[in-house]
Amino acid sequence: MTIEATLVDDRPEGATAPVRRSWSDTIDAVLPVAAGVAFILGWEFLVRYLEVSKFILPTPSAIVATLIADRAQILTALQYTATVTIGAFIAAVVTGIVFGVLLTQNRRIERTFWPYAVTMQVTPVVAIAPLVIIWVGLDRVWLSMLILAWMVAFFPMLSNTAIGMKSADHGLRNVFELYEASRWKRFRYLQLPSALPFILAGARISSGLSVIGAVVAEFVAGSGGSRGLAFMIVESGTLLNIPRMFAALVMLSIFGLAIWYVTSAVQRMLLHRWHESELKQEN
Partner 1 sequence: MTRAVMQAGAPPIRAPERAAPPASEEVVPQKPLVRMRNLDKVYSNGTVALKNLNMDVYPQEFISLLGPSGCGKSTALRIFAGLGAYNAGIMEWPQAMHDVSGKPEREVGFVFQEATLMPWATVFDNVYLPFRLKNQSKAKVRERVNEVLELVGLSAFAQAYPRELSGGMKMRVSIARALAPRPKLLLMDEPFAALDEITRTRLSNDLLNIWAGAKCTVMFVTHSVFESVYLSQRIVVMAARPGRIIGELDIDAPYPRDKEFRLSPEYSAYCREVSNLLDQAMRS
CA 154 vs CA 13, 88, 161, 213, 259: distances in Å: 41, 9, 11, 10, 16
Contact flag: residue 18 with partner 1 (CB under 8 A): no
Contact flag: residue 187 with partner 1 (CB under 8 A): no
Q: Which of 189, 240, 269, 277 is the binder for partner 1 (CB under 8 A)?
A: 189
* Alpha-helical segments (H) within the chain: 3-7, 23-50, 60-69, 71-103, 107-122, 125-136, 141-165, 170-178, 183-186, 192-221, 229-238, 242-271
Least separation in angstroms between CB 277 and partner 1: 12
If we measure between CA atoms, which residue out of 56, 71, 62 comes closest to residue 40? 62
Site string for partner 1, 238-277 (x = CB under 8 A): -----------------------------------xxxx-
Question: Which residue lies nearer to partner 1 by CB, 3 or 33?
Answer: 3
Contact flag: residue 279 with partner 1 (CB under 8 A): yes
Q: Which of 21, 116, 171, 283 is the binder for partner 1 (CB under 8 A)?
A: 171
Question: Which residue lies nearer to partner 1 by CB, 202 or 243?
Answer: 202
C-beta neighbour count of 76 within 10 angstroms: 14
Residues at the contact surface with partner 1, assessed by CB under 8 A: 1, 3-4, 6-8, 10-12, 15-16, 169, 171-172, 174-182, 185, 189-190, 193, 196, 273-276, 279
